[in-house]
Amino acid sequence: MTVIDGNNCVLGRLSSNVAKRLLKREVIHIVNAEKIVISGNETSIMARFRTRLEISPKGNPHKGPNYSRMPDKIVRYAVRGMLPWKTPTGKASFKNLRVYIGVPKELEAEKQEKIENAENRHGKGFMTIGEISLALGAKW
């Protein structure tokens, strides 16, 4: 089991690295999901997430697409996009992923790994997943 700290990591780079490792049958736990960063202009990031929430189906509105506002679900969805999740291999590897908001008590004693090439090096022009979730109306 590998524990990865998501603090100040770029979402796309982190999720691609995690997806590669999941396909190698590793069990990965990502902590501090609300501190993961999406780089770009704040208005364009929020416009992308708001349009995602406003999509409604032509038939039954309860059938979806339903996108979550919670930070852990946003990160899981990003990693799932990097996996072939419709194949048996992708489904099995996606089940080995756990994402947490903050650090749970059972993982505090574990050694947390930091992915170096996913580190955020931008001084400005980024938003955290937690800020996006709160702007969308998430409560945790």
Lookup result for tokens 């999509």: 55
Asked whether residue 60 is assigned to any structural domain, the reply reads no
Instruction: Please provide the average confidence, as pLDDT, over all residues in the chain.
Output: 94
Asked whether residue 80 is assigned to any structural domain, the reply reads yes
Dihedrals φ, ψ of 64, to 5°? 105, 180
Asked whether residue 109 is assigned to any structural domain, the reply reads yes
Full-model pTM: 0.92
Asked whether residue 49 is assigned to any structural domain, the reply reads no
Residue 132's H or E segment, with its range, is helix 129-136
- Which of 138, 116, 121, 117 has its CA nearest to residue 129? 138
DSSP string, 41-56: -HHHHHHHHHHHHH--
Asked whether residue 47 is assigned to any structural domain, the reply reads no
**Number of domains into which the chain is organized:** 1
Q: Which residue range is the domain that position 13 belongs to?
A: 2-40+68-136
- Which of 51, 15, 19 has its CA nearest to residue 136? 51
Asked whether residue 46 is assigned to any structural domain, the reply reads no
Tell me the pLDDT band of 38, cut-offs 50, 70 and 90: very high
CATH number at residue 99: 3.90.1180.10
Asked whether residue 53 is assigned to any structural domain, the reply reads no
Tell me the pLDDT band of 77, cut-offs 50, 70 and 90: very high
HSE-CB of 39 using CA atoms within 13 angstroms:
14
Asked whether residue 28 is assigned to any structural domain, the reply reads yes
pLDDT in tens, 57-68: 778 877 777 889
For position 75, what pLDDT does the model report?
A: 98
Tell me the pLDDT band of 134, cut-offs 50, 70 and 90: very high
Q: How far apart are the first and last CA of the chain?
A: 26
